[in-house]
Structure 1
């Protein structure tokens, strides 16, 4: 991509007001995903080999049903018959209290698959929202919004994942109920243009999508106008991108993919256009003000970049179960 276009894209910032209005403000100063440093503490691992794929979990505090769900989910990974290609990486908030025994329990439950437990700085509330309360919450005050930010943006910036080619997400309350005799990453090995394997479609409407349609439309128009005549700007023909199928005619709705299980190529989400889109979303504070979900934001990342996707393998989907 020519440097002038890259510079223009990386300066695109949107601001979403509490009223839901979204405006384009090119000179706002904010903490960008491209420069943001995520603190990662010392990991603990049980590892016998190197891996090019990681199965990612984000663990809540180790208590109650959540703690039991995580252990059960890890045990069911034995049903994924990928010859141990992917190791497990369980991220947890370093501010939560985890005992050494609990950390070792995670590693044991994942056995014989290689596994690591990795502390991160999870609670990162935007400075201008300090002292405020969310309009919607689950488990903890801002915990759900932090989770959306983590899976939408942090996993592509976090140093811990730089060495991997692929990621596969599993929620802590999801399980494999039967054998999936498949290496789910092989399809992407064979097609280097394929960047994401998606689940079924979903849709959010109303308050939880407030302002997102406006942001997408303005972002699309800005990117499209800067891409004219640039053969290196993805996709090769920007005119092929349309918004109708992700912004349905019903007002206040945005389409996504359920992503409590997903598989993707990490490098494809670290490009300048992907970073610029994440900067725009994070700069708007829409995740925190309106609870924009990472399922919608993931699909928008793909659609706006013109990335190639395919459905998740049926062998994997037949084995997969999610509690909620």
Structure 2
């Protein structure tokens, strides 16, 4: 499922006609009153609606920290890449963990995630086979993709909207 949500999902021709796609895992629940997240994204020209921050630990998922070398080598070797959120990218990694968005709820702008520069990044990550070797999660990969390619004002955060959500309620 990791590779599906990181790569294959955005390649599906069935999604060509959709501007935004919301992911809500079957063990998640939206609670209380919510705004129309699609309308909010459209009004703010947002490319991603993020859930809460989380971390993946190297001691739980050995090989997680290999991703740090992959992303920084990718940026170094692709002169046309300048992280849109350099602080977010820099702070994504500690000595033993990587930040991510808890993405059992997320909304993505399909056109944004299909851009050629993002597809190139996705292919570079996929070619390492780290998803299979180390179980690099789609949550980490989404977080890093957003840090690299999305300007901060185009990323909305559920916590800023006071919308209640429950995972495994």
Give me the TM-score of the superposition, normalised by structure 2.
Answer: 0.86
- Find the aligned partners of 1:292 and 1:217 in 2 and give their Cα distance: 16
- Find the aligned partners of 1:205 and 1:217 in 2 and give their Cα distance: 19
Q: CA RMSD in A?
A: 2.1
Alignment match of 1:302 (pick from 146, 152, 155): 146
Which residue matches 2:161? 314
- Find the aligned partners of 1:191 and 1:176 in 2 and give their Cα distance: 22
Structure 1 residue 174 corresponds to structure 2 residue 28: yes
- Find the aligned partners of 2:69 and 2:33 in 1 and give their Cα distance: 43
Deviation, structure 1 residue 208: 5.1
After the TM superposition, which residues 246-265 of structure 1 pair with which residues of structure 2 at under 5 Å, given as runs?
Answer: 246-248=92-94, 251-265=95-109
Which residue matches 2:126? 282
Q: Deviations over 1:199-239 (max 9, x none)?
A: 1111112115141111011012123xx22xxxxx7x6xx58
Which residue matches 1:241? 86
Does the 8 Å CA contact 2:84/2:150 hold for their aligned counterparts? no
Give me the TM-score of the superposition, normalised by structure 1.
Answer: 0.47
- Find the aligned partners of 2:156 and 2:84 in 1 and give their Cα distance: 21
Evaluate the alpha carbon distance shift between residue 240 and residue 314 of structure 1 in structure 2; reply closer, same or farther with a 3 A threshold: closer
Higher-Rg member (1/2): 1
- The alignment partner of 1:160 has SS state of helix
> Please, which runs of 5 or more residues in structure 2 have no aligned partner?
none
Q: Deviations over 1:114-146 (max 9, x none)?
A: xxxxxxxxxxxxxxxxxxxxxxxxxxxxxxxxx
> Please, which runs of 5 or more residues in structure 1 have no aligned partner?
1-146, 228-232
- Find the aligned partners of 1:239 and 1:162 in 2 and give their Cα distance: 26
Which residue matches 1:163? 17
Does the 8 Å CA contact 1:213/1:252 hold for their aligned counterparts? no
Which residue matches 1:323? 168
How many correspondences in the alignment?
162
Alignment match of 1:191 (pick from 44, 47, 66): 44
- Find the aligned partners of 2:51 and 2:33 in 1 and give their Cα distance: 19
Evaluate the alpha carbon distance shift between residue 297 and residue 186 of structure 1 in structure 2; reply closer, same or farther with a 3 A threshold: same
- The alignment partner of 1:209 has SS state of coil
Does the 8 Å CA contact 2:84/2:148 hold for their aligned counterparts? no
After the TM superposition, which residues 1-324 of structure 1 pair with which residues of structure 2 at under 5 Å, given as runs?
Answer: 147-180=1-34, 182-192=35-45, 194-206=46-58, 207=62, 209-223=64-78, 226-227=79-80, 241-242=86-87, 243-248=89-94, 251-307=95-151, 308-312=154-158, 314-315=161-162, 317-318=163-164, 320-323=165-168
